[in-house]
A and B are shown apart, each in its own frame.
Chain A
Amino acid sequence: MSENNQACIDKFVEMAKAVACHVTEVSSTADILNYVVDLCEKKAPCELLVDEPGTATGPLGPNRCPTRVQRIVAAPQLSDDDFASLKALCDEKGFLCIRDNLRKYAAGIDVGLSEAILGVAASGTCMCDTTNEDWRLAGMISECAVMIVKKSQIYPDLPSIAGFMREQMGKGPEGTFTSLITGPSRTADIECVGAVGVHGPLEMHLLLVEG
């Protein structure tokens, strides 16, 4: 690995932490899957922001919404094999593990796992292909968003990724939806006081992998 790339990685980590991301280096797919399941287990159960008929609900959460009894992990971008492994781990814990039709759970899911195309060091940003609606929703309706970032795919700044953006946006034949994501959803709309988790995730976790 070149020194430049290490400098990029260090900067990326520093900047991501500056926007309240949890950053962890992991060495294998198993690590990623375990991280996701652990996170799901430790977090407070997801609040159902709207009624979801037929779903078992537990006590009210901090925002006076009923909570999910069965936790949900969404991982629409995983390969068939990796998804099967994750599903097995989720099954052990009694979590629902899904990869499509995320709209059905728009009331909120616990953890969404996505993979970035690349990272931008200058701002701790992830560039993601979110054309597929499920891929996009995994990072929108989850309380905790987890993003895999490849260390070799971290670039210094926005101008340096314009070419990748062009390539990604041009992947038709229909329309594409490309996202730059930097930390969790946030606002300062009330008295200019910063708060996270308005409409999107309350937490953002980045998993740095080799390769």
Chain B
Amino acid sequence: MHKAPQTYKEYHGQIDEALHDQQLRKTLDKYAVTYRENRAKVMRDIDEKGLIHAIAEFKDEAAAHMDELYEQFKREAEKRGVHVHLAKDAAEANQIISDIGKKYNVKRIVKSKSMTAEETQLNHKLEADGFIVDESDLGEYIIQLRHETPSHMVMPAIHLSRYQVADDFSKVTKVKQDPDIDRLVKVARVQLRRKFIQADMGISGCNFAIAENGAVTTVTNEGNARMTETMPRVHTVLVGLDKLVRSIDDAMIALQILPRNGTAQRLTSYVSWMCGAGPCASAPEGRKIMHVVFLDNGRREIAKDPLFHQIFRCVRCGACTNVCPVFRLIGGHKMGYIYIGAIGLILTYFYHGKDKAKVLCQNCVGCEACKNVCSGGIDLPRLNREIRSRLVSDKDDKNAMGSLMNAVMTNRKMFHTLLKFASKAQRPFTGGTQFQRHLPMMFMKHHDFKALPAVADKAFRDVFAQYKPKVLNPVMRVAIFAGCAQDFIYPEHLIAACKVLEAKKVAVDFPMEQTCCGLPLDMMGQRKGVQKVAIQNIKAFANGNYDYIVCLCASCCSTLKKHYAEFLESNGGISEAAVKAFSEKVVDFSTLCREKLGMTADDFTKIDEKVTFHASCHQCRALEAAQHSRDLIAAAADYVPCFEEEVCCGFGGTYSVKFPEISAELLRKKLKNVADTNATRIVMDCPGCVMQIKGGVEKNHMGIRVSHLAELLAERVKR
């Protein structure tokens, strides 16, 4: 049983260990790439977005009617000879199952994979009560032999090598087993067949509990669930109340996405539908003794939560884990308690408590890769930020950094004065360059993987008047939202944007009262601070009569455009209409250039320079604008695609401060992919990524130019 980390120090120790596990790294790396490719292939046959939307809809409906569906299921299943139980928590569920075993004089139990049984830690209880329990899913069998917990919801033993498995199998069979995967799979076939035959009771999970006819459904590949459900005289199903669905039709919708998302299969080898207690030759009266135990464990309460009820859209496909760049580096044991990955961080908070979740839930880089693939369209990054916010308001997160940031960043004048002071104070460390070259060692310990940027001599707000486009008959009026990084560290990005906009006859304004977008505060769970800066920003732009508010930072842009409405949902400080009017005007630079200004190759003097691209997380996923940037790069230069262009560079704002070791590793992979393109320049749409990638390029003396898209365009735009 692994422990959830209680302190950052403890957690950093665990992360370090995982980062140095070469086998784990190799397996997860390979899996991330093949999964992505294979998933894309099988998704082509179907309307992915439409089906995800349909799943969200029927799962929301089911969550809203959880109690009724339970009653309906119970009625229908009882008609067909099934005993139905409802357990309020894990202990009660385990007790019920143990009692079922005792009632029917069960000695041996065979189990097929059930994450719900992991949630309740059922095996501990059953073994303590004297039952012999054997896991039959190959991955679960392996980790049971090792006394470990699953490290992935679909592939529980993904962290192990064939050599480790061969050693474990050699011990259990007392015969030396070769590390040949095909052979090892057959060892399990041989070892487990007798367990199925000997077992008195089978315990399975359930993917869909169908209310219309009281059927339980299991979705599997190995065939172990079918053996578990068929051979023993007793079959007990443990299922969360969230698995209730209205109908067979609902299950059919989900079955088109679940296997594609889980393992990139069109359908798993077996989907079994048990509707009632059917014939069973090993049972005393020739009929299966069948029990279904529903687990509440907080689910009925969560179902009523206006925001968090959406976690029940989860079909346990594991896709959020498969695409997570952090999981890819450290594996599931370091990225969850029982449930793994993005959904795992959230479920840990609800099912296993704040104490287990408080450190783990910080380990999300916020790249939104998970949200982009989730079978139920769950806004996982948002829910995770919401949990951080709850932890802060519950005072469970005694985070000095977050409180300090809140105090400083919600006071624009103080914040900006401090930044200006920093531009002077850093001089002994920069040697006049754009980097902090000589930071005292105390700041350097985990952060020396990249050169840290220096604060600019003059902020954009101080030089804007000088660069403000001089346009006589403007075709459009836009206001710039700078964001802290471009206002104070990279004003050159915004100066470049002014040049491009001037060439296209766009009038540009810069409202001085604007401040931080609020994202860094949100990442720290400082919700009140977020609301304060959001209102200040909306008010700063309210009276300008702008056609658009352009933002050259993908992260700020997605915050302003996509998250302000939710931040200010129930805040009396500002009207919903004002928030909407603001957010609708916000546009990122690439979209402004391509869609609003219609810029094409005709607008540029193309240069014969190989330029590659990093698609910033918020640009390619939250804003879905990466193609605009690719088109613009290709219009101005020789665009060379980069491997894993859309994978996070590891910046993640405050994430790189909290988890520098993971940030460094993500950056290392990004730089390798960039180097492989042989491009002489890399372009992106986010100053955070510029900071990260420029810092890495500088540190490693790679000699590649790192630019914001606006800089490339400003150089090549025809005037």
Contacts and interface: CB of A to CB of B under 8 A. Distances in A.
Interface in A162-205: 162, 165-166, 169-170, 172, 174-193, 195, 197-201
Contact of A175 (B80, B175, B192): B80
Interface stretch (A23-31, A37-45, A85-93, A117-125): A117-125
Interface residues of B, number: 79
A179 B270 contact: yes
B213 interface: yes
Contacts of B182: 195
Interface stretch (B159-167, B658-666, B700-708): B159-167
A190 B184 contact: yes
A188 B273 contact: no
Contacts of A130: 272
Nearest to A65: B190
A195 B161 CA distance: 15
B193 A49 contact: yes
Contacts of A193: 162, 181
Given A137-B230, A175-B275, A198-B185, A63 B190 contact: yes
Contact of A199 (B45, B162, B189, B256): B189
A140 to B, nearest CB: 6
B275 A191 contact: no
Interface in B156-193: 156-158, 160-162, 165, 175, 181-190, 192-193
- Which label, helix, strand, loop or mixed, suits the secondary structure of the B interface? mixed
A20 B31 CA distance: 21
A62 interface: yes
Most buried by B among A62, A175, A185: A175
B240 interface: no
A165 B249 CA distance: 9
B274 interface: yes
A15 interface: yes
B269 A123 contact: no
A125 B270 CA distance: 9
Given A63-B183, A175-B288, A177-B273, A197 B189 contact: yes
B709 interface: no
B80 A198 contact: no
Given A189-B157, A199-B189, A159 B278 contact: no
Nearest to B163: A191
B270 to A, nearest CB: 6
A176 B216 CA distance: 11
A28 B279 CA distance: 32
Contact of A169 (B138, B139, B223, B275): B275
B193 A175 contact: no
> Which among A50, A65, A158 has the greatest number of chain B C-beta atoms within 10 A?
A158
Contacts of B280: 133
A106 interface: yes
Identify which of B81, B196, B223, B273 gathers the most chain A CB atoms within 10 Å of its CB: B223
A159 B252 contact: yes
B270 A175 contact: no
A177 B221 contact: no
B18 interface: no
Interface string B64-91: 0000000000000000111000000000
A63 B187 contact: yes
B634 interface: no
A174 B287 contact: yes
> A158, A170, A187, A192 — which one has the most chain B CB atoms within 10 A of its CB?
A187
A178 B212 CA distance: 16
A14 B213 CA distance: 33
Contact of A198 (B46, B138, B265): B138
Contacts of B275: 169-170, 175-178
Contacts of A136: 226, 230
B249 A159 contact: yes
B621 interface: no
B372 interface: no
Interface of A is mostly: loop
B53 to A, nearest CB: 15
B248 interface: yes
Contact of A158 (B227, B229, B252, B279): B252
Contacts of B252: 158-159, 161-162, 165
B186 to A, nearest CB: 4
A179 B193 contact: no
Contacts of A186: 221-222, 269
Given A62-B186, A136-B226, A189 B274 contact: no
Interface in B183-223: 183-190, 192-194, 196-197, 212-213, 215, 221-223
B680 interface: no
Contact of A182 (B27, B190, B196, B266): B266
Given A122-B45, A165-B248, A175-B288, A188 B263 contact: yes
Contacts of B186: 62-63, 197
A140 B230 contact: yes
B290 interface: yes
Contact of B27 (A162, A183, A191, A200): A191
B231 interface: yes
B277 interface: yes
A156 to B, nearest CB: 11
A107 interface: yes
B278 A180 contact: no
Contacts of B224: 198-199
A185 B307 CA distance: 40
A174 B165 CA distance: 42
A169 B82 contact: no
A201 B160 CA distance: 26
A185 B269 contact: yes
A49 B223 CA distance: 15
Contact of A179 (B197, B226, B277, B288): B226
Contact of A49 (B190, B215, B267): B190
Contacts of B263: 188
Given A185-B269, A190-B160, A169 B248 contact: yes
B231 to A, nearest CB: 7
Contacts of A189: 137-139, 142, 155-158, 185, 222
A180 B271 contact: yes
8 contacts: A15-B266, A50-B197, A158-B255, A158-B256, A169-B275, A175-B275, A175-B279, A199-B136
Interface of A: 15, 18-19, 47, 49-50, 62-65, 101, 103, 106-108, 120, 122-125, 130-133, 136-137, 140, 157-159, 161-162, 165-166, 169-170, 172, 174-193, 195, 197-201
Interface of B: 27, 30-31, 34, 45-46, 80-82, 136-139, 142, 155-158, 160-162, 165, 175, 181-190, 192-194, 196-197, 212-213, 215, 221-224, 226-227, 229-231, 247-249, 252-253, 255-256, 263, 265-282, 287-288, 290
